[in-house]
Copies of this chain bind each other. A is one copy, B any other.
Amino acid sequence: MFEAINRYAARYISFTPEEGKLFNDLLQYKKVPKKTFLLQEGEVCKFEAYINAGCIRTYYINETGTEVILQFAIEDWWVSDIASFHEQKPSRMFIETLEDCEILTLTPDGKEALLRGAPCFERMFRLMVQRNLSRLQERLFQTIATTAVEKYLDFLERYPTIPQRVAQHYIASYLGFSPEFLSKVRTRLTKK
């Protein structure tokens, strides 16, 4: 149950068995069926979740009802709305399972207790967030400065397993275009 997440942590930091035990004790294991909301707009996010199995999407919705997918999270990823989680303020995001999932969650208090009892985890979280940030910087650049075809091809390269797991219109929403247009991009590509 904890092997994967402990391996994950060990990739970032080294910790003693006691610290590892504290970490695991503070995690809650949950099974969640597909199409379940872990968070909806307006709620306060009360978890950071590590995914043992399954696939989850986080997204925003604008006034006109269009969804923009921020992230597809699969095995060995974390999901949360950090802003809402840390400041305990209402979120603007939705977090929804796309498959049946097994997750390990940390509450705000749990995280505080962990960082107090095993400060080295502070580093892990910093490095995690840092990776995320620089990835997102690249994505913003790409969103602004590249063509639809480039975006799609880059997505395939970067996340080769996702297209087999999620519906195509979700990918369109991630890339920032309409489902119809993604379809046209795809036919354009196969014709060549």
Whether A185 sits at the interface, judged by CB under 8 Å, is no
| Interfacial chain B residues near A138, Cβ < 8 Å | 92
Of residues 47 through 103 on chain A, the ones whose CB sits less than 8 Å from some CB of chain B are 60, 62, 66, 68, 70, 81-83, 86, 92
How long is the Cα–Cα vector from A143 to B68 in the complex, in angstroms? 10
Q: Which of B86, B119, B123, B136 contacts A137 (CB 8 A)?
A: B136
How long is the Cα–Cα vector from A130 to B45 in the complex, in angstroms? 15
By DSSP majority rule, is chain A's interface helix, strand, loop, or mixed?
helix
Q: Are B145 and A62 in contact (CB under 8 A)?
A: yes
Number of interface residues of A (CB under 8 A): 34
How long is the Cα–Cα vector from A68 to B143 in the complex, in angstroms? 10
- Shortest CB distance A111–B (Å): 11
How long is the Cα–Cα vector from A133 to B81 in the complex, in angstroms? 10
Q: How many copies of the polypeptide does the oligomer hold?
A: 2
- Shortest CB distance A64–B (Å): 8
Q: Are A82 and B133 in contact (CB under 8 A)?
A: yes
Name the residue on B nearest A59 (C-beta).
Answer: B141
- Shortest CB distance A128–B (Å): 9
Other A-B contacts than A70-B137, A129-B133, 15 sampled, CB-CB below 8 A, are A60-B141, A62-B141, A68-B144, A82-B134, A83-B130, A92-B138, A115-B123, A122-B122, A122-B126, A125-B126, A126-B129, A133-B136, A136-B137, A136-B140, A145-B176
- Chain A positions near chain B (C-beta within 8 angstroms): 60, 62, 66, 68, 70, 81-83, 86, 92, 115, 119, 122-123, 125-127, 129-134, 136-141, 143-146, 176
